[in-house]
Amino acid sequence: MRQKKAREEFTKMLEESKELTSSTRWSKAVSMFENDERFKAVERTRDREDLFESYMVELERKEKEKAVEDHRQNVAEYRKFLESCDFIKVNSHWRKVQDRLEDDERCSRLEKLDRLLIFEDYIRDLEKDEEEQKKIQKEQLRRAERKNRDEFRLLMEGHVATGILTAKTHWLDYCLKVKDLPQYQAIASNISGSTPKELFEDVAEELEKQYREDKTRIKDVMGKLTFLATWTFKDFKEAIIEDVGSPPISDINLKLVFEESLERAKEKEEKEARKRQRLADDFTKLLYTFKEITASSVWEDCRPLFEESQEYRSIGEESFRREIRVPCSSIIDFKDLMSVCPSIGEESFRREIFEEYIANLQEKAKEKERKREEEKAKKEREREEKEKRKEKERKEKERDREREKGKERFKKDETDGETVDVIDNHSYKEDKKREKDKDRKHRKRHQSATDDVSSDKDEKEESKKSRRHGSDHISSDKDEKEESKKSRRHGSDRKKSRKAASDFSF
């Protein structure tokens, strides 16, 4: 019992040691614990060594387990670190990102090879996730595209029911009608599966198959009837509906067969009408070759000219008992002719062509006469206008001559006026001079009759007279200047009056 406790204490001593590892040798352990009472308590050396070896085995196991756990923890932390790096993508390469990862302390806990393996494992997981996301997106896209196709089929079914889509509808025409609808735009965005055109062709194929079956049944009934180009769809339906039997034929296919039959009937009538119109044109052209036929000719007189011709006989080989609805463009409007006479005989038809030709000649004669009258009136108007222009030119020349004469008269009057002014001015000066001489002689006579006075008084008197005479002379000069100014103003006024008179005459 004592030894058992000693063994337990020995093991406890080993567990408490922090320096002891699984690689520690027994000899070193002895030196480490030889002074410990628990070491000494186990008496036999062999027992001590066995206990030590047993503990070393257990310690090694624990160390390995711890190392594995630590490694697992380090791997988990490094993986978490990689997941936090947003620069690592599914297509990233180790050699391009390892330098950016080594700065983190979590890298130092693992070997480089371990880090590479963890990185590659992480990339594989990213690839798996991406592939899974692609699968999910692909499935979602597949479902969305299938839904788009189903909605487009429903759209076409509705159009079939309303007659928008029939066996005769072409894809381009239908596409123009639906291209702006959301159902078409949705399926047009599909990247896989059937296209809108392929779905249309599937529906059109079924419609064509059903149409051929219905058409065969309708044609069987129409074989017993005479289809008329004047029929309406209502007439057509009432004529065959009771005999087609069952299953009933849709109004859409009935209308398609009706429109097809009506188009063929009209084409046949158009062909016959063109042939008849050609014969009528040939006969009309023949009439143009006879110079004997004029605007006053009559049928009975002209008939021997052409009754042996091929054009005349060709009309007799055709039946003209149908009403013509096709517009024709030729010399004679055959439609107008036949619409007036829907049941016309051969001879009457030939005669109508002849009379139309005569009417055409008469119309041309009238047109020719009308143009001749218009030309005559035009020439008369031109003659009158020419005479008016000549008269206008003559009057213009007369006015020009009058203007020239007026200018010459004005120049002459102006020259005469200047001469008169010079003469008047000279006469005025002569008159003044005579008046001065007369005054001077009068003063001399007055001096001789006066009594002699003292020389002083005479001198004073003479001095006064002299001053008075000087004053009179100055006054006379002033009067002379005033008269000269008046004379010049008078001459200028006469010039202005003559110029105004000349302007007025012009």
Q: Is 126 within 8 Å of 160 (Cβ atoms)?
A: no
Least confident of 229-238, 359-368, 378-387: 229-238
Mean pLDDT of 298-326: 69
Distance (Å, rounded) from C-alpha 311 to C-alpha 291? 17
pLDDT above 70 covers a percentage of the chain that reads 77
Do 236 and 117 lie in a common domain? no
Max alpha carbon distance in the chain (Å)? 216
DSSP-derived letter for residue 330 is S
Please give the residue range of the domain that contains residue 362.
225-367
Mean pLDDT calculated for residue range 53-63: 84
Q: Is residue 309 part of a domain?
A: yes
Mean pLDDT (whole number) for 1-21: 79
Residue 346 clears pLDDT 80, i.e. is over it: no
Give me the phi and psi of 78, to 5 degrees please.
-70, -40
Cβ-contact 360, 366 below 8 angstroms = no
What value does the mean pLDDT of the chain take? 78
Quick check: 120 pLDDT over 80? yes
pLDDT band at 475 (very low <50, low <70, confident <90, very high): very low
Q: Are residues 112 and 243 in the same domain?
A: no
Mean pLDDT on 151-177? 94
Same domain, 235 and 114: no
Q: What is the mean pLDDT of residues 14-34?
A: 80
Is residue 435 in a domain?
no
Residue after which a domain boundary falls, among 317, 342, 367 = 367
Is residue 35 included in any domain, yes or no?
Answer: yes
Band of pLDDT at residue 132, cut at 50, 70 and 90: very high
Residue 9 — pLDDT band, cuts 50, 70, 90? confident
User: Could you tell me if residue 458 is inside a domain?
Assistant: no
Confidence of residue 416 (pLDDT cuts 50, 70, 90): low
pLDDT, tens only, 180-216:
999 999 999 999 999 999 999 999 999 999 888 888 8
- Of 253-262, 276-285, 488-497, where does mean pLDDT reach its minimum? 488-497
Residue 252 lies in a domain: yes
Residue 75 reports pLDDT greater than 80: yes
Contact 56, 22 (CB under 8 A): yes
Q: Taking 50 as the threshold, does the pLDDT of residue 30 lie above it? A: yes
Which of these ranges, 99-108, 140-149, 349-358, has the smallest mean pLDDT? 99-108
Asked if pLDDT for residue 494 goes beyond 70, the answer is no
pLDDT at 447: 59
In sequence order, what are the residues at sequence separation of 6 or more whose Cβ sits closer than 8 angstroms to the Cβ of residue 53?
A: 26
Query: Does the residue 232 lie in any domain?
Result: yes
Is residue 246's pLDDT more than 90?
Answer: no
> What is the share, in percent, of the chain residues with pLDDT greater than 90?
21
Q: Residue 432 burial by CB count (10 A; 0-12/13-18/19+): exposed, middle or buried? A: middle
Over residues 392-417, the mean pLDDT reads 81
The interaxial angle of helices 112-162 and 94-101, nearest 10 deg, is 120
**Is residue 159 domain-resident?**
no
Q: Is 254 helix (H, G, I), strand (E, B) or coil?
A: helix
The mean pLDDT value for 395-420 works out to 77
144 belongs to a structural domain: no
Domain boundary among 337, 367, 397: 367
Last residue of a domain, one of 98, 113, 128: 128
pLDDT tier for residue 484 given thresholds of 50, 70 and 90: low
Tally of domains in the chain: 2
Whether pLDDT at 473 is above 50: no
- Residue 428's pLDDT is what? 61
- 89, pLDDT greater than 50: yes
Q: Can you give the pLDDT at residue 128?
A: 93
**Long-range contacts, 492-499 (Cβ 8 Å, 24+):** 494/417, 494/420, 494/421, 495/414, 495/417, 498/410, 498/413, 498/414, 498/417, 499/410, 499/414
Residue 451 confidence (pLDDT) above 80: no
Would you place residue 448 in the very low, low, confident or very high pLDDT band (cuts 50, 70, 90)?
low
Residue type, 61: R
Q: Which of 32-46, 350-364, 483-497 has the lowest mean pLDDT?
A: 483-497
- pLDDT for the residue numbered 136: 94
